[in-house]
Amino acid sequence: MSNKAGHQARKRFGQNFLHDPGTIERIIRAINPKPDDAIVEIGPGLGALTEEILAVNPRLQVVELDRDLIPVLRTKFFNYPEFRIHEADALKFDFSQLMVDRPLRIVGNLPYNISTPLIFHLLSQAGVVQDMHFMLQKEVVQRMAAVPGDNNYGRLGIMTQYFCRVQPLFEVGPGAFRPAPKVDSAIVRLVPHKTLPHPAKDLATLQAVVRTAFNARRKTLRKALGGMVSVEQLQSLGINDGLRPENLGLADYVAIADLLFEEKGAASPANEVSDD
């Protein structure tokens, strides 16, 4: 389905352009941009949010992969000389290079097909971020905010909550987009913790434990983590090996990872957040 700017939404980029004025206004209110903020928008599309942010913050920077959209954006916002467009894949983009004198505020209507790996990529750069406001598939937001015992609780929620406070804000129906997606969407606010509530001794070990556990989420911990952790080790931490992975909180996973790392006694690769 084309739109008034003549740009065909591309399936391979997961493009669904926001057009509903009420939804746009509500998102801008949630972001609450200020003139001096260092704001970065991922995937501006045809500039629905961009236009509203630029009206407040003329130094907005955007990261856009679709090269056909870049001339559309340049033409539409030609009267903002400080507006910067980075033609790049957000999945590979080094956001830390954009931070000069203040942490970044990152916003975006994220393509559903890359939302999870993109969130993991951004979490690895959480140290340069003040907050993030994203439009995501409703189910993804539910997974990010889930607590132990929820059906949606898993690796995405644990690792997001390791780095950030997760605040689901409101839901958005398919009609707010062109073309309309087949799923409901939701806006989420992520605020990186100034001090991590449960810092792991080694991030890579924590990720390995969580990934292994949830690869067998229906099994008991004894079986799900059988190749990594013994029943005796779990019991030494006061963790019932008969529980399932979804019953443990972040602090429990950090405790398991710290025990393994201490026993391994070796340094691990760089603290990157992996989406593997």
pLDDT at residue 35 tops 60: yes
Q: Are residue 207 and residue 186 in the same domain, yes or no?
A: no
Q: Are residue 115 and residue 175 in the same domain, yes or no?
A: yes
Domain membership flag for residue 98: yes
pLDDT at residue 268 tops 50: no
Averaged pLDDT, 77-105: 95
Domain membership flag for residue 167: yes
- Say what the pLDDT of residue 127 is: 92
Q: What is the C-alpha to C-alpha distance for residues 29 and 32, in angstroms, rounded to an integer?
A: 5
Q: Are residue 128 and residue 176 in the same domain, yes or no?
A: yes
Domain membership flag for residue 3: no
Q: Are residue 35 and residue 94 in the same domain, yes or no?
A: yes
- Say what the pLDDT of residue 115 is: 87
Last residue of a domain, one of 145, 161, 190: 190
Work out the pLDDT band at 271, boundaries 50, 70, 90: low
Higher pLDDT, 17 or 153: 153
Averaged pLDDT, 113-141: 92
Amino acid at 265: G
> Per the annotation, does 184 bind a ligand?
no
Backbone angles phi, psi at 55, to 5 degrees: -60, -25
Higher pLDDT, 225 or 269: 225
Averaged pLDDT, 75-104: 94
pLDDT at residue 267 tops 50: no
- Say what the pLDDT of residue 1 is: 32
Q: Into how many domains does the chain fold?
A: 2
Strands lying side by side in the sheet with 84-87: 84-87, 61-64, 38-42, 104-109, 129-137, 185-192, 164-172
* pLDDT above 70 coverage of the chain, percent: 90
Q: Are residue 124 and residue 255 in the same domain, yes or no?
A: no
> Per the annotation, does 79 bind a ligand?
no
- Say what the pLDDT of residue 113 is: 80
Domain membership flag for residue 275: no
Domain membership flag for residue 195: no
Q: Are residue 49 and residue 173 in the same domain, yes or no?
A: yes
Q: What is the C-alpha to C-alpha distance for residues 81 and 193, in angstroms, rounded to an integer?
A: 34
> Per the annotation, does 89 bind a ligand?
yes
- Say what the pLDDT of residue 273 is: 67
Last residue of a domain, one of 170, 190, 210: 190
Report CA-CA distances (Å) from 141 to 47, 126, 137, 146: 23, 18, 7, 8
pLDDT at residue 179 tops 50: yes
Would you say the pTM of this structure is higher than 0.85? yes
Cβ–Cβ under 8 Å, residues 210 and 198: no
- Say what the pLDDT of residue 227 is: 86
Domain membership flag for residue 5: no
- Say what the pLDDT of residue 173 is: 79
> Per the annotation, does 122 bind a ligand?
no
- Say what the pLDDT of residue 183 is: 83
- The model's pLDDT over 36-71, given as tens digits with 9 standing for 90+, comes to 999 999 999 889 899 999 999 999 999 999 888 899
Q: What is the mean pLDDT of the chain?
A: 88
> Per the annotation, does 247 bind a ligand?
no
CA torsion angle for 68, 71, 73, 78 (degrees, to 10)?
180
Domain boundaries, position 161: 15-190
Report CA-CA distances (Å) from 24 to 29, 177, 182, 241: 9, 11, 20, 48
CATH code, domain carrying 214: 1.10.8.100
Work out the pLDDT band at 3, boundaries 50, 70, 90: very low
> Per the annotation, does 64 bind a ligand?
yes
pLDDT at residue 16 tops 80: no
Domain membership flag for residue 37: yes
Q: Which of helix, strand or coil describes residue 192?
A: strand
* Six token digits for residue 41: 């928008």
CATH code, domain carrying 146: 3.40.50.150
Domain membership flag for residue 276: no
pLDDT at residue 245 tops 90: yes
Tokens 């393509």 identify what position?
111
Last residue of a domain, one of 190, 224, 245: 190
Q: Are residue 60 and residue 152 in the same domain, yes or no?
A: yes
Work out the pLDDT band at 180, boundaries 50, 70, 90: confident
